[in-house]
Amino acid sequence: SSEDIFTPSTMWPESYAVAEAAFFRHVARQEAPHNSCHLECLQVCAHMLVGTTFSTYTLKTVVMHLLTILPMSHWHRRDLVPRLQDIMGYLRRCVENKHLDHYYFGNGNMPDEVVLPLALRTAEPLNLFQHLAQDPDAHAEALRELMDPQDRLMRLLLSGH
């Protein structure tokens, strides 16, 4: 049986590392400003979300969606504060709506440089927040967890740092 062949020690979680690398290479080659803030935004937001149930993968997914939506000219270092606000606002709206599409499943905005199997490109989008739609307690907790990072971001912005 397949259970005899695939023991837990020989199974790996699904990874999109190659696709992510291709996506970020595409961003770097595109009209990304020399002083682009997208990686700094990822780092700052990841730091703000430490201790919450939000994974770095979730945050990366949000940033990748925004990198696809917003023109690269809006990601200059001088735009750091508005982009941080965009990222946290997008994440909050996704939590409120209990819906965040997986970046690679059925994404019609995928750059050509990111080569994916046909099954992924043509799949129905996958909701990474489906568990929030199914579990009201998890949804309430996710909303609570976002309050502190958003408060920290506001304090950071008000202090001018």
Domain hosting residue 95, numbered range: 2-159
Work out the number of other CB atoms within 10 angstroms of the CB of residue 56: 12
Query: Is it the case that residue 10 has pLDDT exceeding 60?
Result: no
Long-range contacts of 151-160 (CB under 8 A, 24+ apart): 152/48, 153/48, 153/84, 153/85, 153/88, 157/81, 157/84, 157/85
DSSP state letter for 20: H
pLDDT at residue number 33: 58
Whichever domain contains 26, its CATH number is 1.10.1410
Q: How many domains does the chain have?
A: 1
Question: How big is the chain by its Cα radius of gyration, in Å?
Answer: 17
CA dist 149 and 52 (Å) reads: 9
CA dist 63 and 91 (Å) reads: 9
Band of pLDDT at residue 17, cut at 50, 70 and 90: confident
> Closest Cα to residue 64, out of 93, 31, 25?
25
Query: Is it the case that residue 54 has pLDDT exceeding 90?
Result: yes
Average pLDDT of span 35-40:
90
pLDDT at residue number 2: 46
